[in-house]
Amino acid sequence: MIVLKTSRELAAMRDAGRISARALRLAGEAVEPGVSTWEIDRIVRRYIEEQGASPTFLGYGGFPASACISVNNVVIHGIPHKDQKLKAGDIVSVDVGATFEGYVGDNAWTFPCGDVSKEARDLMDATRESLFEGIRAARTGNRLGDIGSAVQRYVEARGYSVVRDFVGHGVGAKMHEDPSVPNYGTPGRGVRLLAGMTIAIEPMINAGGHRVRTLPDGWTVVTQDGSLSAHFEHSVAITKDGPVILTLPD
């Protein structure tokens, strides 16, 4: 069931989104050679809890950390470790959720660690821009297929692949609500977008093929061919005046 949010609920989601976005920004500032993914996770958790919020991911389905930190060919759900030290040239996707006063802000960004290759930079640029292509299509009267198609067209025109096994989602009082929000699709198809809907749009884009696999830890998802992957995400409200990004730090 899709839950349409009131103006009061949207204001609460904006507060949660601001905390999540600031935590994500701090994580990005910490991405440097020699820093462990565990240290970055600690920064995220500390900031969220200092704001009186709780890390949405911590314990969610048994996930053991406050942020998903996915390096290079890891698509999503990377588990932070003390012994995983970042190296110059890595690309680091950080996914953060904060729950505040009953509502969730969910966002992700892929950061370069030091100087990265042109291949990595181009992939990150294309994935980030595809997120905003999707957001621009998130307008009342459009359909979910318009969002997915906008993302898919943008990245495939540049030779990249859209992950099919994992998609965006509704967000609100729960991290995962209806509807599912694929990053691929057909314009004019799918659920119609209505004012009050709140969704997490999150392109997961591979430099190689679209196929992925989950490692034995049950969480870490990697590209099947070992190619690089990037991930960007915003929580977005559908309003009569157009899409509103809820996960902004200021």
**Rg (alpha carbons) of the chain, rounded to whole number:** 17
Is the pTM higher than 0.85? The answer reads: yes
Interatomic CA distance for residues 27 and 119, integer angstroms: 23
Interatomic CA distance for residues 93 and 18, integer angstroms: 19
**Domains defined along the chain, listed by start:** 7-245 (3.90.230.10)
Interatomic CA distance for residues 59 and 145, integer angstroms: 32
Three-state secondary-structure class, residue 71: strand
Q: What is the pLDDT of residue 127?
A: 99
pLDDT tens for residues 95-153?
Answer: 999 999 999 999 999 999 999 999 999 999 999 999 999 999 999 999 999 999 999 99
Strand order in the sheet with 204-206: 161-162, 204-206, 229-231
pLDDT tens for residues 78-90?
Answer: 999 999 999 999 9
Q: Tens-digit pLDDT profile for the chain (250 aa)?
A: 999 999 999 999 999 999 999 999 999 999 999 999 999 999 999 999 999 999 999 999 999 999 999 999 999 999 999 999 999 999 999 999 999 999 999 999 999 999 999 999 999 999 999 999 999 999 999 999 999 999 999 999 999 999 999 999 999 999 999 999 999 999 999 999 999 999 999 999 999 999 999 999 999 999 999 999 999 999 999 999 999 999 999 8
Joined tokens for residue 244:
């509103």
